[in-house]
Homo-oligomer: A and B are copies of this chain.
């Protein structure tokens, strides 16, 4: 099942995507909801960010080849994490499928995509074992952890490098009933495939992260956990189209523009 959040006219609603139509529901998948008899052509609704998370978690570095690549770029030894220490991203930066990613005026040009699997929490959860961890997940969506690499090197934190406005495309919807350890990710920059990897090569998988987090932290419905990206990434420039496709979910597509 695919849950989307959409605007039709003035209404903002959750819906279920069924082929080329969206069936409106009342309520949301995070609480009780009922299917209505109203539906819309998918092409005529505006898809929104599928959820505004109470807390926005990000695994950060979580794939071996991305770590090796990042270390080579700055001339250090690759530092493979030994524990599933989670980080944070910021709600201000979220944009939806088909919206514009804006390159800030003073970016160095090292402005890059990172295609990521995103777990969306559906139920309040604490102290989950690794075996039961995925029971709190509603489903999975796609994130693009856009990064300004020069700021990532210069600043004490990742605040503007990864959280400037429009730097966190997420969508197009939340797909349920997937195995997060075996999904194919394909990244296309202006139509050209620039990266392909399977989520099975994560260093710490989704269940491990959730189990570790919930030793200390309560997860709440709507929280999201971005799972990191693999391999090298490339610069995006104004005019580019960046697409992240993950098997079983769909494609998150955004347009790159320069700040005016």
Interface contact B85-A155, CB-CB below 8 Å: yes
Does A91 sit at the interface, judged by CB under 8 A? yes
Distance from A55 Cβ to chain B, minimum over Cβ atoms (Å)? 5
Chain B residues near A160 (CB-CB < 8 A): 215-217
Q: How far is the CA of A46 from the CA of B68 in the complex (A)?
A: 52
CB distance from A104 to the nearest CB of B (A): 6
Number of copies: 2
B156 contacts A55, C-beta separation under 8 Å: no
Would you give the shortest CB distance from A125 to chain B, in whole angstroms? 11
Distance of A4 Cα from B89 Cα, bound (Å) = 28
Given A54-B52, A54-B92, A92-B54, A86:B217 Cβ within 8 A: no
Within the assembled complex, what's the spacing in Å between the Cα atoms of A93 and B216? 10
Tell which of B91, B157, B213, B220 touches A60, judged by Cβ atoms closer than 8 Å.
B157
Q: Are the CB atoms of B85 and A156 closer together than 8 Å?
A: yes
A86-B159 contact, Cβ under 8 Å, with A52-B54, A55-B91: yes
Chain A contact patch, size range:
20 to 34
- Contacts A164-B217, A220-B92 hold; do A86 and B157 have CB atoms under 8 A apart? yes
Shortest Cβ distance from residue A151 to the other chain B in the assembled complex, whole angstroms: 9
| A23 interfacial contact with B, CB 8 Å | no
Within 8 Å by CB of A88, from B88, B126, B220, lies: B88
Q: Is A238 an interface residue (CB 8 A)?
A: no
| Interface presence of A163 (CB below 8 A) | yes
| Inter-chain contact B163/A81, CB cutoff 8 Å | no
A215 to B104, CA, bound (A): 9
Are A92's CB and B55's CB within 8 A?
A: yes
Interface set, chain A 156-196, CB cutoff 8 A to B: 156-157, 159-160, 163-165
